[in-house]
A and B are shown apart, each in its own frame.
Chain A
Amino acid sequence: MNVLQWVVDGIALGAVYALVAVGLALVFGVMRLINFAHGELITAGAYTLALTAAWPRAASVTACVLVAVALALATERVAFRRLRGATVSTALVTTFAVSFALQAVWLMAFGPEGRTADVLTTLNRAAVRGDVDLRWVTIVELVVGGALVAGVALLLNRTSIGLQMRAAAADPRAARLLGVRANRVIAFAFLLAGFLAAVVAILLTVQTPLVTPTFGLQITILALVGVVVGGIDRLPSATAGGFAVGFATAVLGNALPADERVFLPSFTFLLVIVVLLVRPAGLFAPLRASAVDRV
């Protein structure tokens, strides 16, 4: 293993984490809600892939996207819409509860041992061999991750709905007074988050085809940590934070010797604490930003 290989693996994993981070930051932007249930959208997408493994690939992938988007819109409509006036800690614990209930549903419906989603496992083939091994999935992660982050950025900066989303994020009350329809903007943010979650589900199942009830939980927690460490108030800093956590996880996982690798989470989270103490508003936030004070 050489350093270049570590960097390539790190960037690929970072791209996937960045997609989760964008999904979290979009929803946080429009309604100040840390959507912990975002991981369940990923899990739902992955289970759809597993259950439709016999279908043609395109149909399976479409179903995955549709299910994740539908679940995102449904959770918003049924639960999160009522949270708009709630304090942030109540809102956060409510998303926990929704996540907990959905995990229990997966457990009840599909059992604890997991289902296999081997829809796109052909992407595991090597594309380039040599000093640096490059699998197709790595390339796909890089391209799709980069394209989607760029796409969301374009959407936010160049379209009317994007402008409305940014307005709602900057000042919800003023945005409403100026005619931005909150329901529409928030639903759109959830729609985007659902779509991104489906893409993450597709990318993740290529490498780890076994889908268990907690499939989306771990990556969501880590990406959430990354988002806050990066700076949740702005999309670029949140995305960079998510990317950094994914990158660090991959590189440290490769770089540490095996008997110290078990303590990898300790090193990562120690780093997180240090960053938060030095820059509470986020590593990539503007220098004079005040500390986030919303939970």
Chain B
Amino acid sequence: MIHSLESIIRNHEFFHGLEEKYIVFIAGCARNVRFEENQYIFHEGDPAERFYFIREGLVSIELMIPHKGASTLHTVRDGEVLGWSWLAPPYRWHFDARTLRSTHALDFDGECLRRKCEEDHHLGYEVLKRFANVVSERLDAARLQLLDLYGGHA
């Protein structure tokens, strides 16, 4: 079944409750993309101009550690949002993102959306609320990971 970008975005939990005019606008900033397994989506330090909804697949958020190689900090999978560095200066990726399997995603032009958010603060607030939720969930998860819950002393 082929779904239009608008209907995919409208039905996605992330954009639930957003006004129709904003759905149409955001759909105009989006396109479908496909990444092969083991393909880098972005690299640490590169300009962060986009963000992604993972429709199907698995993406590893990694940090390259000298003499050790890439260390996976977190994985992002079906239904989740990848990337928020486009929202805050200096608009550079803080980590690498690499697919662990073939991945379908919606690719959003973050710069375009950011400009629109600057012009329309209601949209800006709606977008920021949603991303703040994602950031909060990831922060909780990172804190729990730091606790080493399953170690012998947890």
Does A associate with B in a complex?
A: no
Q: Which B residues contact A (CB, under 8 angstroms)? A: none
